[in-house]
Amino acid sequence: MGTGFRIESDALGEVPVPADAYWGVHTARALENFRVSGVPVGAHPPLVRALVQVKHAAALANGEIGVLEPHKARAIAAACRAVAEGRHHDQFRVDVIQGGAGTSTNMNANEVIANLALEHLGHERGRYEHLDPLDDVNRCQSTNDTYPTALRIAISAALTELAAELTLLSAEFRAKGQEFADVVKVGRTQLQDAVPMTLGREFAAFGVTLAEDVQRIGETLPLLAETSLGATAIGTGIAAEPGYAEAAVRHLRALTGLDLTPAADLVEATSDTGVFLLVSGVLKRTAVKLSKVCSDLRLLASGPHAGLAEINLPALQAGSSVMPGKVNPVIPEMVNQIAFATAGADVAITMAADNGQLQLNAFEPLIGHLLLQHIGWLAHGCAALRTRCVAGITANREHLARTGAGTAGTVGAVTALAPRIGHETAADVAREAARTGADIADIVARRGLLDRTTALRLMAADVTAAG
C-alpha cells in the first residue's frame, strides 16, 4: 500500500490504515460500514471526554489491582489526559449512527488511546505487541458498561451547560421585567383582550417559567450519576477482575468530580435506558416552553404597522430579498425550530428505548447522539436568544399610549369594578364601551354607579397589583 499506510488485522483479515491515523482496523471497518449521517463521534466533545475519562479510570484501577503493568497504565493515563484536554478529537471518526450498541465508538476510543500511549512509550502506531487496544486499554471492560457510563457522564456535562445558559436567559427576562415595570398594557387570553397588566409582569413571567426548567434539569443529574461500570457484557461482571469495579468507580468519581454510585443491580442497569427517557422528556418540556416564549415575542413584536407592535426586537439582518426594509424575528424563529426538532427527537428516543431487547439496548448510539445534539442546540439557542434578542428588546411605549392598549380605561379593566358594581352591570358597561368607544370611567359615573375618580383609582390599582 506504500508508505502512506500501515497494515492492521483482526479476526476478519487485514485492512490498510492511514499511517498517520491514531485509529486502527476496527475503526476502519466501521468507517466503511456506517456511512450514514456524516457526523462523527468527535462532533460531541462531551462524549469524547467522557469516554477517555472512563478509560483513564479503568487503567488506574487495573494498575491498582495488578492486572496492568505500571508503565502501560501510566501511558494510557497520559493518552487519556491529552484527549480530555481537547486534543485528537478529530480521530474519533466513526459515525454517530451505527450498529453494535456503541461497539465501534468504544473500539475507536481504544485504538486512539492505544496509539497515543504507544507514542508515549516510544513506539510506532500500530505496534500493539507493546500495548494493545483490547488486552490493555479495554481490560476488564465491555462496550456494554463503558459506553453507557460515558453517555451518562457526557449528558450530565452537557445538561450542566444548558442549565447555566437557561439561568442566564431567565435572569435577562427578569431584568427586562424590571425595566418594563411601568409599561401598562392589556393582557390577552385566547388572543382576545382580557385585563390590564404591565409589560414588566409579562417579561418577568418568562423568566420564572424558564427558571422552573433549570430546576427540572437539576433533578435529573443525580439519576445520571448511577453507573454500571464493572458490569461488562450483560451485568454479570464476566472478564472483570476482583476489585476492579470498585476501584474503577472510585477513580472515575475523582476524574469527573461527579458523585457516581454503582448501580444496585448491574443486570438491570445494563439493559435499562429509563434515565435517557427522563432526560428526553425534560428536554422536550424545556424546548416547548422556550418555543412558546419565542412565539409570544414574535406576536408582541408583530407589525410593526399592522400588528401588535408592543415591543421592538433588535434588527439583525435584512428580512426579504424582494421587500425593502423588511426585518424578521430571526432569533426567535431559530429557537422555535430547535424546539420542533427536540420534540421530534423525543419520539425517536422513545422508540429506541422501547426496542432494546433482553439484556442490552442496541440503539443507545441514536439515543446518545440525539440527546447530546439537542442539549447543545438548546444551549446555543438560549445564548443567542439572550444576547442577540432579549437584551436588545425595547418597549413601544408610544404605540401603546396611542392605541389605548396601555391605559386603565380599556374594556378589560372593567373587571376591577365588578366586585363593586356587580358582574352583570360590569358586563353591560363593557358592552357599551366596546360599542360606543366611550371611556369606562365616564360610563360608570354617568350611570351613577361610582364617581369617575373612584373608578379610575380602582382600575389603576388593579393594574399596579397585577404588575
The dihedral through the CA atoms of 123, 127, 132, 137 has a sign that is: positive
CA-wise closest residue to 121 among 85, 77, 63? 77
Which residues lie closer than 8 Å to 329 by C-beta, 6 or more apart?
297, 298, 301, 313, 389
Distance of CA 111 to the CA centre of its chain: 30
320 noted as active-site residue: yes
**How far is 272 from 231, CA to CA, in rounded Å?**
13
Straight-line distance from the first to the last Cα atom of the chain, in angstroms, rounded to the nearest whole number: 75
Preceding omega of 304 cis (within 30 degrees of 0): yes
The dihedral through the CA atoms of 119, 125, 126, 127 has a sign that is: negative
In what helix (H) or strand (E) does residue 18 lie, and over which residues does it extend? strand 13-18
In what helix (H) or strand (E) does residue 193 lie, and over which residues does it extend? strand 192-198
Which residues lie closer than 8 Å to 370 by C-beta, 6 or more apart?
280, 345, 348, 349
**How far is 381 from 390, CA to CA, in rounded Å?**
12
Cβ atoms of 54 and 146 closer than 8 Å: yes
User: Which of the residues 280, 291, 320, 321 is marked catalytic?
Assistant: 320
Q: Cell triple for residue 197?
A: 397588566
Residue tagged 508515549 (cell numbers): 120
Phi-psi sector, 237: left (phi>0), alpha (psi -120 to 50), beta = left
User: Where in the sequence numbering do the catalytic residues fall?
Assistant: 320
